[in-house]
Structure 1
């Protein structure tokens, strides 16, 4: 276990270095931040002086070395627009994104698991075929189309849920504000979390169905039937447990890409999270904030992948984490 953790730590450091280089390299391709900061009224001399103060005239190596040293100390730069440390700006928006992702993941688990199991147990049933049709449609329809349709149906036509904003929030333990603990906040969570759920659920339904159908044909399942075990115990304990490894793998990847999905979702629903902040930073050419966002998201990916590998050992003790290498 210790060898595995050390290898994962080395890999994580290497990945984060690559991410930092890429995120810093694209800064010069997004436009002139000086123009965004001072507008058209500033004279060329004032712009040149500001570029010199920001260190934008230095070589790429010098700028990156200065950037890397600051990142090691937790300084991801100063936002040009907010005039605050970029990391602080992102951390203020992080709870909203994590809250949205958490609700979507819970809904996916609660809905996709029984649907996938039912589709595997009775693959020719009308309900199973209906699920497969819906999952095919869900894989084909872009997430922003789903979001617009839900807004039109539940907000415009039925007036059942608000279509934008986060709503009222409640302070939790003095650490962060959450909308999970009041009615208004929950009502604002419905449509964006449902959008993400619809975007992710087809993958899990089809994966659980495929893995379950394969496992149900194995010898130990036939032996369980011959012992007279109950159907729920066979399906949800013995069979479902042995489909978890590929599901955890895909789930870990999807949990990371959920951050990417939230960019569109948060923009459509005006959800004040990291995705909406990123789009706002791109429109303002706030390059320190963009770089900080990419580094934070990359760190979340690395942490998620490490946790997935650790969960392998809990689900299946025969998996030797130390032998994974990567």
Structure 2
């Protein structure tokens, strides 16, 4: 088990090194940092002096080593537009994105699990067939189409919910600005979280249904039926438990992709999170902020996937067998 954990941690480090190098290269390709810092009204001699002082004439690997050293110490540069440390700017927007992702994932779990289980237990029921059809259509509908329909009906036509912004927030724990504790904040959160959940729910419904059908056709479930075990225990204790093993793996990956999906969702709903911040940074060619965003998002992906691996190790004892899961 220790060897498994060490391999996963080593893989995480290698992935982060790759992401950091890609971010460093991208930052160097997005315009001239000297021009971004001082503008056009400086002499060539002053430009050359500033370029030298910033180490931009050094070999590429030497610049990357300096960049990596600063990143490890928590310094990912200063935003050209915000004139603040990039991590501070991202930290201000991070709570909004995490709350949006958490609520979307909660909606997915509360809807996809019962629907997927029902569609597997009663595969010929008309509702099961409707679930399969709707989930198939859901995989084909782009998130911006879902978002526009939600805005049109719930915000424009019926005027039940706000269409943009984050609403009222309160400061929690002295640093976390949250909209989960206010009515206005929850109202603003509902449409973007449902829009985000609509994209992921069909994946989980189909996965849970397919895996549950496979488990219900397995030998140990037949043996449970032969022993006269009650149906609810067969379905929800024996079959569902093993159904959730691949769901954990896929779910961890999908949780990571939530961060990517929030770019579109936050842009449509003007949700002040990391996704909207990234789009603003791209439009302003704010290279340090773009680079820092990629590293932070990459770190979130790596942490989530590593955590999923450890959870899978805990719930699936076979992973502990030497050579299994390599």
C-alpha contact 2:5 2:310 (8 A) present in aligned 1: no
The yes-or-no answer on 1:23 pairing with 2:18 is no
Q: Distance in 2 between matches of 1:149 and 1:93?
A: 26
Name the CA distance, whole Å, in 2 between partners of 1:145 and 1:262: 14
Instruction: Give yes or no for contact 2:166–2:188 (8 Å, CA) kept in 1.
Output: yes
The residue correspondences of 1:111-190 to structure 2 (distance < 5 A) are 111-190=111-190
1:288 is displaced (CA, Å) by 1.0
Q: How does 1:1-326 map to 2 (within 5 A)?
A: 1-36=1-36, 42-43=41-42, 45=44, 51-52=51-52, 54-320=54-320, 323-324=323-324
Q: Give the distance between the partners of 2:38 and 2:234, measured in 1 at CA.
A: 67
| Segment drifting more, 54-63 vs 259-268 | 54-63
Distance 2:263 2:322 in 1: 36
By how many angstroms is 1:259 displaced? 0.6
In 1, distance between residues paired with 2:153 and 2:49? 53
- Deviation string, structure 1 residues 47-93 (Cα, Å, up to 9, x no partner): 65655554444443332122111012111111111111111111121
Select between 172-181 and 44-53 the one with higher mean Cα deviation.
44-53
For the 8 Å contact 2:21–2:64, the answer to whether it is kept is yes
User: What do residues 305-324 of structure 1 show as CA deviations (whole Å, max 9, x unaligned)?
Assistant: 11111111332233317645
The answer to whether the Cα contact below 8 Å between 2:117 and 2:209 also exists between their aligned partners in 1 is yes
Give a deviation string over 1:175-202, Cα, whole Å, max 9, x none.
3111111100100110110011000001
Shift of 1:227: 2.6
Which one is further off, 232-241 or 202-211? 232-241
Instruction: Supply the distance in 1 between the matched residues of 2:182 and 2:169 (Cα, whole angstroms).
Output: 7
- Distance in 2, Cα, partners of 1:35 & 1:150: 43
Distance in 2 between residues matched to 1:80 and 1:156, nearest whole Å: 37
TM-score computed with the length of structure 1 as normaliser: 0.93
CA contact (8 A) 2:16 2:298 kept: yes
Gap change, CA 1:158 and 1:49, over 3 Å in 2: farther
Report the CA distance shift for 1:156/1:283 in structure 2 as closer, same or farther (over 3 A).
same
Aligned residues: 325
Q: CA deviation at 1:230?
A: 2.4
**Cα shift at 1:265:** 0.6
> How far apart are the structure 2 equivalents of 1:304 and 1:234?
31
Going from structure 1 to structure 2, the CA distance change for 1:47 and 1:129 (only over 3 Å counts) comes to farther
Which segments of 5 or more consecutive residues in structure 1 lack a partner in the other structure? none
Distance apart, 1:102 and its partner CA = 0.5
| SS of corresponding position for 1:318 | helix
Deviations 1:269-325 (A, max 9, x none): 111111111111111111111111111111111111111111113322333176457
Q: Structure 2 vs 1, CA of residues 57 and 285 (structure 1 numbering), >3 Å: closer, same or farther?
A: farther
